[in-house]
Amino acid sequence: DKIRADLLKHGAIWVRGFDLMQDVNGYRDMWQALGFEPCLDPLHSSGLRKFASERDALYEEVNKPSLRGHYIGLHCESTAKRTAAYAAFVCFQRATEPMEPRGRFLVADGAAILAEMDPKVLQKLYDRQIRISVSNLDIPPSFPGPIKEGIKGLVDAAVAPKFDMDLEMIYEADGKPGRLQAVETAES
């Protein structure tokens, strides 16, 4: 009860150094002891992450060679349509390359960060409609306009529904020629 109360008070708890959480079963025992239930990622239907254990609603990390050298933020997914009240993250394996600083957790309370930001900065972000891209598809920039529009329509019809969020298909929003991005629509 104390740990759960601290979670509600502070927004996060960091549990480490316990033998219990060395495998999937122990990890499940830990969060069940805190009174949590397994749930699917709000973006589960997108297929972006595979399960490490479907029974335990434990997803694999994002571990793609193309993302090597990037900061990957483990986060509780939230869309304008759904969110999970809590999220738990675990690392079962130490970094395999000792010279690279991996396996570290930073905890941040997004609501607190936004509350402390200068309102002028927040207004600028709002006015610029800063939003997330959930999918990138690189199309040869030399493709004719009608072909690109056909691909855009196909992605909108076949891929976008896998995300439980409203998406807009935009070419070259990030400046990369030929890149089609599925971008979350601006919310008020």
What digits encode the pLDDT tens for the residues 72-130? 555 555 655 666 666 777 776 665 666 555 555 666 777 788 899 999 999 998 888 87
Residue 33 in this model has a pLDDT that exceeds 70: yes
122 in the Ramachandran plot: left (φ > 0), alpha (ψ -120 to 50) or beta?
alpha
Q: Give residues with Cβ within 8 angstroms of 33, minimum separation 6.
A: none
Which helix H or strand E contains 157, and what residues bound it?
helix 145-158
State what percent of residues in the chain have pLDDT above 70: 68
**What's residue 27's pLDDT?**
82
From the list 86, 84, 82, 85, the residue with the least C-alpha distance to 164 is: 82
Please state, in angstroms and rounded to a whole number, the distance separating the CA atoms of residues 166 and 185.
6
Check residues 26 and 188 and name the one with the higher pLDDT. 26
Confidence of residue 188 (pLDDT cuts 50, 70, 90): very low
Please state, in angstroms and rounded to a whole number, the distance separating the CA atoms of residues 90 and 15.
9
- What confidence tens digit (pLDDT) does each residue in 97-113 have? 665 555 556 667 777 88
Q: Measured at the alpha carbon of residue 70, what is the angle toward residues 65 and 76, in degrees to the nearest 5?
A: 100
**Dihedrals φ, ψ of 180, to 5°?**
-100, 125
Mean pLDDT of the chain: 76
**What's residue 139's pLDDT?**
92
Please state, in angstroms and rounded to a whole number, the distance separating the CA atoms of residues 85 and 76.
8
Measured between its terminal Cα atoms, the distance across the chain in Å is 37
Confidence of residue 143 (pLDDT cuts 50, 70, 90): very high
Residue 43 in this model has a pLDDT that exceeds 70: no
Please state, in angstroms and rounded to a whole number, the distance separating the CA atoms of residues 70 and 67.
5
* Beta-sheet strands, E only, within the chain: 51-53, 58-59, 133-138, 167-171, 179-184
Q: What is the mean pLDDT of residues 150-162?
A: 86
Residue 153 in this model has a pLDDT that exceeds 80: yes
For residue 131, the cross-strand partners are none
